[in-house]
Structures are given as C-alpha cells and as structure tokens.
Amino acid sequence: MGLQQAKLESLPFVTAELNYLAPTPGKPRTYAFDPPPGEPKSTALPEPHNVPIFDARLIAANLSLDREGFALVRHPTIVRNFYDDKEVTGVYFPAVEAFLKATLKADRVFIFDHTVRKRVEGAADIRGAGPRQPATRVHVDQTHRSGANRVREHLPDEAEELLKGRVQVINLWRPIRGPVLDAPLAMCDGRTVEPGDLVASDLIYPNRSGETYSMKYNPNHRWYYIPEMRTDEALLLKCYDSATDGRTRFGPHTAFTDPTTPADAPPRESIELRTLVFHRN
C-alpha cells in the first residue's frame, strides 16, 4: 500500500447503501412526468451496494475539480430566502456567476438551471410540485452528448464558436439550512471510474429528451462526503468537461442515508445551480 493510499484508508468513514444501476436491456430511460399507459416510470432500476464513504474534510484543501471531479469551497451568501425565485435569480445568480468566474479562471459563466430540494419523508420526487426530493441514485447530470447540447440549447447563436474552446458543466450545491446531518451528498473520485461504468440514460420531458449518466457498480470506486456542511460552504460538482487531456470529465454523485444521522435531525434543504463554464483555451 502506497503512502497516499494509506493516508486515504486512515480517514474516518461511514458505511452506507448507494443505489447503482441494475443491469437492464436497452438504454435506460426515465419519464419526468406521468408515463404513457402501460409504461413504467423508469427502466433504470436500482442495485444497492454497501460501500465505505470517506470523510473528506481532512483532505478538503487538496480536492480538485480536475482530479477528483469535486471540490469544497467557502461561499457566504446574503440571500435570505432561497425559496423565492426572484431573490435567487436576482441576487444569488449574479453572485455565483462572479464567484465561479474568479474561482475557475473562466472567461464566461452562464447559469441555466436551479433546483431547490427539501427532503420530506415518504414523498415522491415530482417536478413542478414544490421542492424536489434528494436524488438517491448514483448519477452524473450530463453526458458527453448532452453536455455539449446544453450550449446549443441555451446559447444557440454562439454555440458553435463557444464549443471551439473548453466547456464545463459545473453544479454548485449548497445547504439552505445547516449543518447538514440528513441526506448528505456522496461524491465518487473520478479517477476510480472506468468509462464502461457510465451508462447513458434518457430523461424524457413532455417537450424534449435529456441524457444523464447512470453508473454500474465497480468495487474500485472510492466515495467521499463532507459531514455537517454549513450554509457558508458549497460543493462544486463536475457534470461535464469537453477537455480530453486526462483530467476527470464526469463526477458521479448521489444523496445517501448516513447511518450516524440523529433521529431528530432536521430534513436536508439545499439548492443547486447548474452552470456552463467557458474557457477560450
């Protein structure tokens, strides 16, 4: 065992169940609305595996979007009500745009989506019916194809020129209420993910189809989480990177049930912004 491996193995961890993708015939697909009669809501069925999830607080300063595919950042905010869309788009969006541009040394940042989540025991995750529920399957928000298509969808007049440079899709995730004790995020070290582990899966909306990656189980995957995240902290999650020079391009993640969560812990509340990050070179 090398020195770095020994250091990682010495980190505190919890053992928890993560929902990978069960083997399925054909391309998995999930409806984001009530499916047609006779069709299942999803053909992407879960295959649970118990895995160690390491406490990354002790190594947080060394985490890198380009290496592990995720990073912890300090990001205070003056937003008072994240459930107010006007405040989120008018106050939070510009602040995140400026923060990411400076932090990632980007030429441009474009925010195309945001999602507020609040866990409600037993509730289904239904779009357009109040706060979303934590996503409890291992996934990546974009794929090789859909990452580039996001540029064409949201910036059609500039897309082909922008796609000549480097493009990333970065998700900035933060707690609305902290510290987070309930349903934290687990992030997989991108270096431990084999290309064949990622399975392109259709996400079908009423007027369009998107594509995400589900993930097959691989015992080599190494998982991390940041316990008790505060409201002045945020996670950067890499969902797509057009660069093909060896850096991590996709960062799988999922919410999970932490077995050490106190029974009276408040339900997790969080907000995530999905952004296009552009570099000319």
pLDDT, one tens digit per residue, over 37-85 is 999 999 999 999 999 999 999 999 999 999 999 999 999 999 999 999 9
Closest CA to 189 of 218, 166, 212, 160: 218
132: enclosing H helix or E strand: none
275 with 173: CB under 8 angstroms? no
- Burial degree of 196 (CB within 10 A; 0-12, 13-18, 19+): exposed
- pLDDT (average), residues 117-123: 84
Q: pLDDT: is 207 or 194 the higher one?
A: 194
| pLDDT tens string 96-119 | 999 999 999 999 999 999 999 999
Average pLDDT, the chain: 94
Residue 8's pLDDT band (cuts 50, 70, 90): confident
- pLDDT (average), residues 193-213: 93
| pLDDT tens string 154-188 | 999 999 999 999 999 999 999 999 999 999 999 99
Closest CA to 55 of 104, 97, 21, 13: 13
| pLDDT tens string 265-277 | 999 999 999 999 9
Residue 281's pLDDT band (cuts 50, 70, 90): confident
Instruction: State yes or no: pLDDT of 132 exceeds 70.
Output: yes
Domains belonging to the chain, first-starting first, are 16-33+42-279 (2.60.120)
